[in-house]
Amino acid sequence: MAYKVLISDPLSEEGIQPLREAGNIEVDVKTNLSADELADTIGDYDALLVRSQTKVTRDIISKASKLKIIGRAGVGVDNIDLSAATEYGVIVVNAPDGNTNSAAEHTIAMLMSLARKIPQAYAALKDGKWDRKTHVGVELKGKTIGVIGMGRIGQEVAYRAKGQRMKVIAYDPFLTKERADKLGIDYGSVEDVVIASDFITVHTPLIKETKHMINKEAFEKMKDGVRIVNCARGGIIDEDALYNAIESGKVAGAALDVFEEEPATDHRLLELPQVIATPHLGASTVEAQESVAVDVSHDVVRYLTEGVVKNPVNLPSVPKDVMNKIEPYFHLSEKLGTFLTHVTEGTAEEINISYSGELTELEVAPLTRNTIKGLLKRHLGDHVNDVNASYLAEKRGIHVNENRTSSKKGFTNLLKVEVKTKHGTRTVAGTLLNGLGARIVQVDNYSVDVVPEGYLVFISHNDRPGVIGKVGNAFAENDINIASMQVGRSDVGGNAMMIISVDKHLEKEQLDQLNQITEINNVVAIEL
């Protein structure tokens, strides 16, 4: 059977060579198609390859009657409607490894240029000024660099920084002491990193948890004269706070490849002589652009000929009869994972997922992946999905165990998730109630009945008279309405917990107020 592949964005000839060498694949290169032209054309093709220029919308996907796979020659898939692709049974693949080296090299280039004021010196020389005194720099040797985010690129940057004889301290939500020791680096919290570092470079995805991670409060904790590098995503650093920190002298300089709004040709940070910048060039090398095209071309060939892929982005098609049986549990499994990631302290080392009751009769592998996705998504964002969740957990040294048991424990079905860290073990279990939907029915050793939706507040406290009243008063003072409350205790006067459903998310100030109640040990705001 012959397959037709459409390439709608410019790709190197070397990059698409795997497609041309496949004997049963016909390749058409048609760049600069309008949305209407692509919609009219796409129905003839089995595969579509794009970079960032082509917008693969729901309308286009709905008209792609033969389309089996979309390949993105790069990492980001913002230009592809993933929901529509999944709905229509189209798998999406990308090339997450192809630009790793280029991005890491660009970070080091920006780091060294920042330290030695190379762009400023060059600009002065072009302007006819031979000015050596103004452009005295600093050495990297012996300095501490803080790496926030230790994924592929962060690890490569750390490796290269060590080659410059720098000390490396890193933060990553999945970085354990054992892994840090293996990499030969120190590790700690974000606060530990910003306090200790002479240079700070960020390599995290831009998600709710990382937006403005480097903010006014973080700058205040940094060393005087710290230098900042961002070659990851605009928005990780609060740009207004950065501007003020440079103006005050707290930050000696910043090297930026990305901005919150791009193109950033008229940004006030560019007016500061301490700032050097490039127009989002992290992956802009001949090698990277060729590599991502090669990687995605191989994946397209592999999928069309063998039905398997290396770098899936969305959930591949599941047989309809299987999906009908497991679909009701998808929501529950992800919410259990999300709940645990909020209440668990420390880095996950082991995840145990147990199925009982009627769940033992079903194909549960997709539910396991979905649970892991819920556990990882808070820190990894949309990068993690049902398909790659297990892979990402394995890459971070997290052991996942799947168990089935005949013990129903009073429920027709029960999904129990246990996470082990250096600090201990946390457990949550959930079920589906006929006609009532998903429920959390157990947290650690406490029996509860909680709908896993909306805004929850998890409170660990000592069992004392008046605690519930104090909590209620604190909520009332902040105009926060309580929808429901679950209370459990281990024994009279011992440890106890509350799970409260509220109408809006609690801010830091409100959490701090609750933590000031003597009997309360910990408060966590959860959004499900």
Q: Known catalytic residue: 191?
A: no
CATH of the domain at 337: 3.30.1330.90
How would residue 310 be classed by pLDDT, with cut points 50, 70 and 90? confident
Of residues 365 and 113, which shows the higher confidence score? 113
Confidence (pLDDT) at 318: 57
With respect to residue 147, please indicate whether it lies within any of the assigned structural domains.
yes
How many angstroms separate the Cα of 460 from the Cα of each of 426, 488, 528? 13, 10, 19
Beta strand pairing status for 91-93 and 69-72?
A: parallel
**Judgement on whether residues 182 and 224 belong to the same structural domain of the protein:** yes
**Judgement on whether residues 79 and 110 belong to the same structural domain of the protein:** no
Per-residue pLDDT reduced to its tens digit, 331-348: 999 999 999 999 998 889
Is residue 156 over pLDDT 90? yes
**Judgement on whether residues 123 and 268 belong to the same structural domain of the protein:** yes
**Judgement on whether residues 133 and 263 belong to the same structural domain of the protein:** yes
Return the percentage of the chain with pLDDT > 90, whole number: 74
How would residue 317 be classed by pLDDT, with cut points 50, 70 and 90? low
Confidence (pLDDT) at 223: 98
With respect to residue 517, please indicate whether it lies within any of the assigned structural domains.
yes
**Judgement on whether residues 71 and 174 belong to the same structural domain of the protein:** no
Average pLDDT (31-38) is: 95
Q: Known catalytic residue: 280?
A: yes
- Annotated catalytic residue, options 280, 383, 396, 426: 280
How many angstroms separate the Cα of 442 from the Cα of each of 24, 340, 370, 495? 54, 12, 19, 16
Average pLDDT (498-511) is: 92
Task: Count up the domains in the chain and report the number.
Answer: 4
Spatial separation of the C-alpha atoms in residues 377 and 300, rounded to whole Å: 26
Is residue 167 over pLDDT 80? yes
**Judgement on whether residues 107 and 200 belong to the same structural domain of the protein:** yes
Confidence (pLDDT) at 491: 80
Spatial separation of the C-alpha atoms in residues 244 and 355, rounded to whole Å: 53
Per-residue pLDDT reduced to its tens digit, 449-466: 999 999 999 999 999 999
**Judgement on whether residues 340 and 386 belong to the same structural domain of the protein:** yes
With respect to residue 271, please indicate whether it lies within any of the assigned structural domains.
yes
- Annotated catalytic residue, options 233, 298, 379, 396: 233
**Judgement on whether residues 240 and 121 belong to the same structural domain of the protein:** yes
Q: Which of 145, 146, 151, 185 is nearest to 166 (CA)?
A: 145
Is residue 316 over pLDDT 60? no
Burial of 298 per CB tally in 10 Å (0-12, 13-18, 19+)? buried
CATH of the domain at 205: 3.40.50.720
How many angstroms separate the Cα of 113 from the Cα of each of 16, 119, 219, 257, 439? 35, 7, 22, 13, 55
Count of residues for the chain?
Answer: 528
**Judgement on whether residues 129 and 270 belong to the same structural domain of the protein:** yes
**Judgement on whether residues 80 and 215 belong to the same structural domain of the protein:** no
How would residue 487 be classed by pLDDT, with cut points 50, 70 and 90? very high
- Show the 3-state SS of 66-98: CCCEEEECCCCCCCECHHHHHHCCCEEECCCCC
- Annotated catalytic residue, options 217, 262, 394, 477: 262
With respect to residue 436, please indicate whether it lies within any of the assigned structural domains.
no
Which has the minimum average pLDDT: 63-77, 303-317, 399-413?
303-317
Is residue 131 over pLDDT 60? yes
Domain closes at, from 408, 425, 442? 425
Confidence (pLDDT) at 320: 61
With respect to residue 442, please indicate whether it lies within any of the assigned structural domains.
no
Q: Please, what is the average pLDDT of the chain?
A: 92
Q: Known catalytic residue: 233?
A: yes
- State the residue range of the domain holding 459: 454-528
Q: Which of 99, 16, 52 is nearest to 297 (CA)?
A: 16
Confidence (pLDDT) at 266: 93
Is residue 1 over pLDDT 80? no
Confidence (pLDDT) at 308: 78
CATH of the domain at 465: 3.30.70.260
With respect to residue 521, please indicate whether it lies within any of the assigned structural domains.
yes
**Judgement on whether residues 271 and 298 belong to the same structural domain of the protein:** no
With respect to residue 433, please indicate whether it lies within any of the assigned structural domains.
no
How would residue 52 be classed by pLDDT, with cut points 50, 70 and 90? confident
Per-residue pLDDT reduced to its tens digit, 195-250: 999 999 999 988 888 999 999 999 999 999 999 999 999 999 999 999 999 999 99
Confidence (pLDDT) at 315: 64
Q: Which of 339, 367, 373 is nearest to 354 (CA)?
A: 367
Average pLDDT (148-162) is: 95
Confidence (pLDDT) at 319: 58
With respect to residue 430, please indicate whether it lies within any of the assigned structural domains.
no
**Judgement on whether residues 231 and 115 belong to the same structural domain of the protein:** yes
Per-residue pLDDT reduced to its tens digit, 370-379: 999 999 988 8
Which has the minimum average pLDDT: 35-39, 59-63, 305-309, 512-516?
305-309
How would residue 365 be classed by pLDDT, with cut points 50, 70 and 90? confident
Has this prediction a pTM greater than 0.85?
Answer: no
Is residue 520 over pLDDT 60? yes
Rg of the chain over all Cα atoms, to the nearest angstrom: 26
Confidence (pLDDT) at 98: 86
